[in-house]
Amino acid sequence: MESFGFGESESKGEVQVGDDGAVVQVLHPDGRRVLLDDGVVHDSLHAWGKGFVITDRAAYRFDNPAFTRWRSSGIDLMYQFGELELRVGRRFGEQWTETYELRNTSSESIEIGSLAISTPYRDVYTSSRESLTGAVHAHVWTGGADAWVWAVPMDGSGPGLGLQLKEGELWAYSVESREPGTSSNIRGHIYLHVTDHARVPHAMGGQPAITLEPGASYRWTWQLGWYTDLPAFHADRQPLIGADRLAAAITEPIQLHDGREITATEPGLQYVESPDGRSRIAVLFHEPLQQLAERRVRFILDHQRRPELGGSRKYAFVPYDNDSGLTVLSSAWRDWSDARERVGMALLLQEVRDRGWGDRAELDEALNGYERFVREYLLDDAGTIQDDSVHQSAVRLYNFPWFARFLLGQGDRAGATRVLNRYYELGGDHFLAFDLGPLLSELGLREHLIRHTKTFIGYGDELPPHEVNYEQSMVAPLLELLVSAYQIAPDEIDGAELTRRLPWLTAFAADQPDVRLRHVPIRHWDGYWFGRLRLWGDVFPHYWSALSAVVYAAWPRELVTPEQAAWLDAAEDAILRANLVSFTADGSATCAFVYPSCVNGQPAHIADPLANDQDWALVYALRLLSHGAPLSRSAPISR
């Protein structure tokens, strides 16, 4: 194995190259490891620079080079497979540069349907401390000639490793090594694609097929370097296309950086290409929020209950399969149950009712029936929330604040208080459920709020594992808790404790020019747990990304600069609008859009047909726009 330094002297990293010429490891200037190590998931077969190609004749993976030449500045490699030849050059210095050239050595043309290179970033959640001190978030954008990847330490510290395309185009990325055995704590191997047309021609706005004539070749080059932060990385790039924002209400304009203006009269996602067609961005035009919410509520009332059941169970809200038109029976799969996250539908009905939208009599009937269901099947006298109407012995702490919020919305302040008291009796001080800070403040439960906050300040970066060892929906509730405590007791909660942890949350997202991605935190397992397709892989957007928007909206402005405040405003607005893509004009919805072109070879970049738990996105959009909720300082979503 050979080691090569790269970067400027004050921020020099190291690339370790194996005997077969593939990159084994990248060392951050502070010594942390940027790539996966050999272990449960990773092995040399997935090393950086190895990959595969699918043609109209055959498909090949490439691993062992037919030719290797070591140089003082790097290495040259040549792979041969079928009638193709792939030459790779790696060079190191102030920058790390890689050039790939695929050549047709036959006497006939060959169509390249997929061409991918493994980039096994260390995007894993072993524990919160190990994540924050020894792992990276890999933010990927494969928008053609403007493609880039930003790998940032999970604690948000610099420098980050920026990969930018200098020659050629990258139009997709896929994920491998996602299995039930790896569960939710490993993102998998990320493959960057020149194209993935053979497997998923529609992905990311369309995948090109590349035809190589005899003797012709396709060449691309990317360059990697260390940058203090994401703006510094972007300052070193010159994108072909960009926009002032990526989402707007229908009929409102979006201004492109090249002077063009786009708008739409119908809602939906649009891909916009650069004038030369070598790059694209994705924007969303959405309906006014009232119209969207009312249609969604109509759909829920018509399709997402079980009128065939007797008693109050017919009022429970359940998942719905948009393909078959059937509600889903959960059996032992509790993420499809009649409780848990499905309470978000009831909260959406409350939000619509409280604004005077929809049919008040029908909403009251539905909510009163649901309240009967909750009291008969989910809530006991002690304030315990059961997992669902079938599983009466399981306790899941996430459920407690959600149902306390529902009871409060029904006017039962005492019931909501009883549920939260029970939450703490069952160990809630050591758990990060959602919406706790605002609820505790609203109910006047100051002692719980301050004690809980101080407990987690004491944990530092060693947070107790939840259903995932470490994730955005642990950090966002943590900060939501700290913000609420700071607001009522600034003399007891040091603002520095908030400031230190904010980068933990912002590091989960970047600013790719796709409305599904910009400022939307990485989540890569929800399609498996909540969807019908049971696909692992990146879900963009995901409704719990709204938890970050809640934090950004409520963040004490005295703790940030005006520039940082403007960023928080923009991120909040982008997240709320991005999630509107999950709802269609007829009121149907999807619980997960699995973003990569493929996951484990299974075609993806697809909306799961299940409507399940995504209505929280609308709940949070409505809350942030209401007068009684944390004030949103962003541009208002059109009503």
Contact partners, residue 137, CB within 8 Å, separation at least 6: 123, 151, 152, 154, 507, 508, 510, 522
CATH code of the domain covering residue 29: 2.70.98.40
Q: Which residues of the chain have pLDDT under 50?
A: 627-639
pLDDT at 194: 98
SS3 assignment, position 609: coil
Give yes or no for a contact between 577 and 515, defined as CB atoms under 8 angstroms apart. yes
Report which of 620, 613, 483, 593 is spatially closest to residue 538, judged by C-alpha positions.
593
As separate numbers, helices (DSSP H) first and strands (DSSP E) second, the chain gives 15, 28
Question: Which domain does 29 fall in, by range?
Answer: 2-235
**Strand locations in 170-305 (E):** 172-176, 189-195, 210-212, 217-227, 247-249, 254-255, 261-262, 268-273, 280-286
217-227 and 96-104 beta bridge pairing: antiparallel
User: pLDDT value at position 143?
Assistant: 97
Are 21 and 116 contained in the same domain?
yes
- The answer to whether 51 and 61 are in contact (CB under 8 A) is yes
Tell me how far CA of residue 253 lies from CA of 245, 260, 383, 498, in angstroms.
10, 10, 50, 37
Q: What is the pLDDT of residue 340?
A: 95
Nearest 5°: CA angle at 138, between 136 and 142? Answer: 170
Per the CB < 8 A criterion, the answer to whether 218 and 112 are in contact is: yes
Could you tell me if residue 328 is inside a domain?
A: no
DSSP letter at 32 equals -
Assess whether 169 and 273 both reside in one domain. no
Tell me the three state secondary structure of residue 415: helix
Cα distances from 289 to residues 357, 516, 547, 569, in angstroms, run 11, 18, 19, 19
One domain for residues 56 and 165: yes
In a domain, 323, yes or no: no
**Domain shared by 266 and 178, yes or no:** no
Q: Decide if 226 contacts 13 (C-beta within 8 A).
A: yes
DSSP classification of residue 375: I
DSSP assigned state of 136 = E
Is 270 within a domain?
A: yes
| 66 and 200 fall within a common domain | yes
116 & 12 share domain: yes
> Is residue 122 domain-resident?
yes
Integer Cα distance of 10 and 76 in angstroms: 28
Are residues 165 and 265 both part of a single domain?
no
* Single-letter amino acid, residue 297: V
> Do 70 and 99 fall into the same domain?
yes
Question: Is 310 part of a structural domain of the chain?
Answer: no
**Looking at the structure, do residues 179 and 263 belong to the same domain, yes or no?**
no
**Burial class of residue 13 in the structure, from the number of CB atoms within 10 Å of its CB (0-12 exposed, 13-18 middle, 19+ buried):** buried
pLDDT score at 181: 82
Identity of the amino acid at 19: D
Do 127 and 59 share a structural domain?
A: yes
- One domain, residues 53 and 13: yes
Helix axes 343-354, 399-409, angle to 10 degrees: 30
Please report whether residue 126 resides in a domain.
yes
Total of domains in the chain: 2
Strands (E), 247-360: 247-249, 254-255, 261-262, 268-273, 280-286, 320-321
Rounded CA-CA distance 12/329 in Å is 55
Q: Residue 564 is which amino acid?
A: Q
Q: Indicate the DSSP class of residue 193.
A: E
Longest dimension (CA), the chain: 80
- CA dihedral sign, ordered 293, 528, 604, 34: positive
228 within some domain: yes
Lookup: tokens for 22 = 């593939």
At residue 636, the pLDDT reads 38
Gap between the Cα atoms of 503 and 512, Å rounded: 18
Reference 624, options 549, 560, 548, 558; nearest CA is: 549
Q: Are residues 140 and 251 in the same domain?
A: no
The answer to whether the CB of 137 falls within 8 A of the CB of 125 is no
- Chain centroid, CA 420 distance in Å: 29
Does residue 452 sit within a domain? no
